[in-house]
Structure 1
């Protein structure tokens, strides 16, 4: 109850900063908990000290708006997309490292209520512009915005801020949504304020989580940008499970 009162009194910027800190703490602490304890050996005169490996920051141009796409972006010719079975309905913990993270991958950053999130382009189904108001279905949870009609099928739209920041969402966050990012080939899309230019990430430029009991959709943290990297397939699976548990009639 005290946490709720503090959330209500906090400014939007403070709420976002607090949530981002918690995300980074979750990603960092889960890594530390899984690391085996290292034995410190006393150096000898012949022992050479290994040079510290310095991480090269990703040189990224200033984010620029990207055109809205209605087709799923294709992976580069040399990239190999490995298909793995979807998590079963009874699965409680996703793989610690997604299959698309085994080598360099293209990534897109988007913003939600002042919070930066990243998604791998290989699993970005499409980006749709919100041109008409998405009306909610009566009785649906706060994180479910409604259905956006599409040429092929109806897209279920998620209020992303409510889904990942429940209890800390700044007032009027939904009014700023301009785009919907479709998750892979699923029927779900994440509403967002804006999208930025894509860039290439190497696996060692992400602090990967080794435990996913809390926030299983959080694959890791992009080190240079300090933003959350979404595990798209796990996110879609969680939404399908939430739809079933809330007995939502979204057909």
Structure 2
């Protein structure tokens, strides 16, 4: 039976569906964890009824006040206000789907800098993390290439995924590009055809999910910002 379950999980369709389900339920699962914690203080009134029998309950009331003051920091740690939706998402927009290790991703064409074919080997950088493939030299500028599967699906990347990369998609006017297997045709997408995210505590690069196409919609500017920050944290030598 275990072998049959593993075989089912290994299929591309099952892997994609499982990954998309996890993306969609990230925010809801975190909200459900916080609610039971506020119900636990219910048994405290029992201590108050016992202290009324004695004439010196004042010393017991003070600790009760200390206990009620503890939840205050929890309110201060509440998540910040959800970010506004991208400016390109308020009306119909053109979108491009590309494939990475069996997973379909989408980017808005308005923020697609260029599509480059991988014709020469990308120059690796010694000591770089697994998600960083290296530099793609170009006449105008050098493009930093990301192993997209390692960046967004760390721990779930199938063996040999990097060998299938044939294109690099440049993110807007940044120096970063996402390696991918294949590029499909563009199509027009309406805002109500996307399940937009209102919380970005996890995977902030995910703007939403296009259910009909079974693909994740990338927030290009946020993705580029995260890559720049990761570059600084790893002190990559890109000279």
User: TM-score normalised to the size of structure 2?
Assistant: 0.72
Cα-to-partner distance string for 1:76-130 (whole Å, 9 max, x where unaligned): 99xxxxxxxxxxxxxxx88330011111100000000000000000000000000
Query: Is the 2:98–2:105 Cα contact (8 Å) retained in structure 1?
Result: yes
- Note closer, same or farther for the CA distance 1:5–1:38 as it changes in structure 2 (3 Å cut): closer
Query: Is the 1:27–1:208 Cα contact (8 Å) retained in structure 2?
Result: no
- Note closer, same or farther for the CA distance 1:218–1:137 as it changes in structure 2 (3 Å cut): same
- For structure 1, which segment, 195-204 or 44-53, has the greater mean C-alpha deviation from structure 2 after superposition? 44-53
- Note closer, same or farther for the CA distance 1:59–1:240 as it changes in structure 2 (3 Å cut): farther
Query: Is the 1:144–1:158 Cα contact (8 Å) retained in structure 2?
Result: yes
- Note closer, same or farther for the CA distance 1:129–1:49 as it changes in structure 2 (3 Å cut): farther
Unpaired stretches in structure 2, ≥5 consecutive residues: 64-69
Query: Is the 2:51–2:57 Cα contact (8 Å) retained in structure 1?
Result: no
- Number of residue equivalences: 233
CA distance in 1, matches of 2:179, 2:201: 25
- Note closer, same or farther for the CA distance 1:43–1:34 as it changes in structure 2 (3 Å cut): closer
Per the TM alignment, residue 26 of structure 1 is displaced from its structure 2 partner at its CA by 3.1
- For structure 1, which segment, 204-213 or 3-12, has the greater mean C-alpha deviation from structure 2 after superposition? 3-12
Stretches (4+) displaced over 6 A = 1-9, 27-71
Are residue 47 (structure 1) and residue 47 (structure 2) matched? Answer: yes
As a proportion of its length, which structure holds more helix? 2
Query: Is the 2:101–2:149 Cα contact (8 Å) retained in structure 1?
Result: yes
CA distance in 1, matches of 2:222, 2:39: 36
Unpaired stretches in structure 1, ≥5 consecutive residues: 78-92
Query: Is the 1:155–1:189 Cα contact (8 Å) retained in structure 2?
Result: yes
Q: Which protein, 1 or 2, shows the higher relative CO under an 8 Å CA cutoff with sep ≥ 6?
A: 1
CA distance in 1, matches of 2:123, 2:217: 29
- Note closer, same or farther for the CA distance 1:216–1:76 as it changes in structure 2 (3 Å cut): closer
Query: Is the 2:146–2:179 Cα contact (8 Å) retained in structure 1?
Result: yes
Query: What's the Cα RMSD here?
Result: 17.2
Give the match for residue 107 of structure 1.
95
Per the TM alignment, residue 135 of structure 1 is displaced from its structure 2 partner at its CA by 3.2
SS across alignment from 1:15 = helix
- Note closer, same or farther for the CA distance 1:12–1:201 as it changes in structure 2 (3 Å cut): closer
- Note closer, same or farther for the CA distance 1:174–1:210 as it changes in structure 2 (3 Å cut): same
User: TM-score normalised to the size of structure 1?
Assistant: 0.69
- Note closer, same or farther for the CA distance 1:4–1:16 as it changes in structure 2 (3 Å cut): farther
Greater radius of gyration (CA): 2
Give the match for residue 79 of structure 2.
76
CA distance in 1, matches of 2:52, 2:222: 35
